Structure 1
Amino acid sequence: METDPTPPPPDAASDTGTTRVCQNHEGAQVPCYDETFGWFNDQDRCYWRLLSPQPDGSNPIWEGNYPDGAIYSVTCGPFPAGSGGGWAWSPTPPPGFGDVGITPAQMAQRAVDSMRLTGPAIHLTITADDTGLVGMPVWLWTDVTPTTWGPNSATASVPGLSVTANARATQIAWDMGDGHTQVCAGPGTPYAPGAVESPTCDYVYERSSAGQPGDAYTVTATTTWQVDWAGGGASGSLTLTRTSTATVRIGELQVLVNG
């Protein structure tokens, strides 16, 4: 019997999403490699086995492409008996041949990429044209949108594999530029005119920003995102961070004393 020269994959019994998972047309999980039929093709969900030796170049199966590409034996379900298929020419190894098909974890990353998660949409009580005061609370908050705080959800799919990822922000770490960081578990509260302290997230500077580049502190806000995903017979989680920056000027309160 002709054999596939590519060695079989390692045992995937402990799959956590980084190992490839193969599913047939009915969504049932099947081996990604079979000693008789070869490698599972992620696109057509058939098994492909490289013929060895290859048919003679005069064989019409080459469709005039000899010696480019290769001829494969194709077997399409149901399995293990196999039915349908035949010989087929392909210019490159089919998706999944040699266990190089996309994994659920890789599809989860595609889903996350499509969300376009960003750092916070930074808001401070002190605008770029104003100067705050030492000792006065600076409110810190972000717009709550699918990309700046969540929740957010996306699905990535290829034939035979679909993975859905759900993302939510868990905290924002505000590096205030003076050597201190304020960590807030929520998105913060928009400033209410006349209020002094934020009910959820603020910071008090203890010294002026004079002498800093541009006489301003650089505020760096980093959101931590938790992403849970599932699909293709696997599931997992990711922790991501996204960062934004802004500047704030802080001055000393000047008190005039009449002599």
Structure 2
Amino acid sequence: MASLLKSRVECHDDMFGWWSQVDECYFRLEEPQPASTDPIWEGNYPNGAIYHAMCPGVVGSGGGWGWFPTPPDGFGAVTATPAELAQQAIDKMQLAGPAIGIAPPPGATGLVGLPVWLWTQVSPTTWGPNTATASVPGLTVTATARAKNVVWDMGDGTKVTCTSPGTVYTKGKGGGTSPTCGHVYQDPSAGQPDDAYPVTATTTWEITWTGGGTTGTLTVTRSSSTTIRIGELQVLVT
């Protein structure tokens, strides 16, 4: 009977899990894992994991739950760890640097001592939240990314950290200071490459993921760049 079962079973079953030729059972990782106080851990928590076995050739219950220090034979068919799948999910998100908004805009010239407004257009790829899932048979990981802050390197030796996407500038706002994210240049950009300050905005993304009975956190950064010209107000004396 056992040899007949070996010739007919599939390596993976969506309900029962992975087939082990050694044990002649299917094994499925329990999700979520039992509480750390559950006796099924046999005092081994947090090492190893709890799996459910289904053994079609066994008389009686045909399996049950148990602790394993390492994945059962055959469970190695899972071709990625939860952390590796988390990275695959992050890649699917296509996280980007800020979609830079700056006033005065490139092509215009700002003035020393006057406010510069900084912001990023908000979307799943530039600010979040952004969620994606990656899977292999028997294992699925879901990751969610949210922007933590944007650090603006203004090209004059100053870095501005903004914990919001910033406020979009419109003409009706006049010459006032941005309420959320901005900078004031103290020197003109003359003498810089193309007589403009290089501006680089770097978003720090915080990512949480869960799957395979485990969770984790990751941090990634993405950057975008632009330029801004700053001049001095010339006073005509007659």
Structure 1 length as normaliser, TM-score? 0.66
Determine if the alignment matches structure 1 residue 142 to structure 2 residue 110. no
Determine if the alignment matches structure 1 residue 77 to structure 2 residue 26. yes
For 1:106 and 1:190, the matched residues in 2 are separated by 37
**Shift of residue 166, structure 1, vs aligned partner:** 0.7
Q: 237-246 or 194-203: which moved more? A: 194-203
* Structure with higher helix content: 2
Q: Which residue identity is paired with 1:249?
A: R
- The answer for unaligned runs of 5 or more in structure 1 is 1-22, 28-43, 50-73, 85-93
Count of aligned pairs = 185
Determine if the alignment matches structure 1 residue 120 to structure 2 residue 98. yes
Deviations 1:187-234 (A, max 9, x none): 000003224110100000010110011111110000000000101100
What root-mean-square deviation, in Å, do the aligned CA atoms of Structure 1 and Structure 2 show?
2.3
Q: 100-109 or 214-223: which moved more? A: 100-109
Determine if the alignment matches structure 1 residue 201 to structure 2 residue 181. yes
Query: Please, which of 231, 244, 247 is the counterpart of residue 211 of structure 2?
Result: 231
Query: Please, which of 101, 105, 111 is the counterpart of residue 89 of structure 2?
Result: 111
**Shift of residue 26, structure 1, vs aligned partner:** 4.7
**Shift of residue 76, structure 1, vs aligned partner:** 3.8
Q: Which residue identity is paired with 1:226?
A: E
Would you say the 8 A contact 1:76–1:83 is kept in 2?
yes
Q: Where has structure 1 moved over 3 Å in runs of 4 or more?
A: 23-27, 78-84
* 1:171 match: 149
Q: 158-167 or 74-83: which moved more? A: 74-83
* 1:46 match: 19
Deviations 1:131-188 (A, max 9, x none): 1101011000000000000011011111111111011001000000111100011000
For 1:255 and 1:223, the matched residues in 2 are separated by 39
Would you say the 8 A contact 2:20–2:75 is kept in 1?
no
Q: Which residue identity is paired with 1:77?
A: Y
1:29-108 pair list within 5 angstroms: 45-48=18-21, 75-77=24-26, 82-83=55-56, 96=76, 101-108=79-86
1:240-259 pair list within 5 angstroms: 240-258=220-238
**Shift of residue 101, structure 1, vs aligned partner:** 3.3
**Counterpart of 1:96 in 2: which secondary structure?**
helix
For 2:157 and 2:207, the matched residues in 1 are separated by 30
Would you say the 8 A contact 1:96–1:102 is kept in 2?
no
Would you say the 8 A contact 1:125–1:139 is kept in 2?
yes
**Counterpart of 2:18 in 1: which secondary structure?**
coil
For 2:136 and 2:105, the matched residues in 1 are separated by 46
* 1:186 match: 164
Percent identity, please.
Answer: 56
For 2:196 and 2:223, the matched residues in 1 are separated by 19
**Counterpart of 2:86 in 1: which secondary structure?**
helix
For 1:80 and 1:146, the matched residues in 2 are separated by 41
**Shift of residue 47, structure 1, vs aligned partner:** 1.9
- The answer for unaligned runs of 5 or more in structure 2 is 1-11, 28-51, 58-73
Shift in CA distance, 218/95, structure 1 to aligned 2, threshold 3 Å: farther
For 2:214 and 2:163, the matched residues in 1 are separated by 30
